[in-house]
Amino acid sequence: MAADLPLSRRLDNRLRQLTFFRDFTLQEVRKLRASGTVQTYDGGDLLATEGTRKQRRVLYVVLRGELQYVKRVRAGRTVILMTLRPGDVGGFLTFLNEEPSPVSVRSVGRTTVFEIGRRELQSLGATEGPLAVKLFHALLGHTARRLETLLDRVAATSAWVLDLERHLRALPLLPGESQSP
């Protein structure tokens, strides 16, 4: 039966099933979708490159697949900071300011995202102000949850460092070394 629905209606329903869009009505989702685009990326494709200013300022919501946030930590070494899955939002760091991208964003396998650019959102805000505000409210909520997760990771890492320091202080000193106060 779902295959009988037009593609745009199936997409609208799919968007509404995602956590990010759960508080949006079907009519609001249709307006957002009309302002944005759906893009599909192959595995390894980059949506953003760390340190780059010249890229389109766009918010994206993962529909299918995964995106990884990758950060250089040392020459030739990178770390995956986080993985975005269906319903997760990305791109807001470069969307909201003019700074270079702080991370590279890489597609893991075939990944489909809903994208809306800064210009498109400004146009939407001019004609559908309350909807644009609702989108920013959802974005701020998502950002706050991500910040809470980051703060939990920082606290856990700090606790680990303090435990490591305590264990290192308990180690016997090597011959010829003195312990400083």
Distances (CA, A) of 32 to 28, 38, 167, 173: 6, 11, 54, 64
The structure's pTM equals: 0.74
Low-confidence ranges of the chain (pLDDT < 50): 1-2, 4
Do residues 56 and 117 lie in contact, with contact meaning Cβ atoms separated by under 8 Å?
yes
Neighbours of 47 (CB within 10 A): 21
The backbone region for 28, taken as left when phi is positive above 0, alpha when psi lies in -120 to 50, beta otherwise, is alpha
Alpha carbon distance 104, 70 (integer Å) = 5
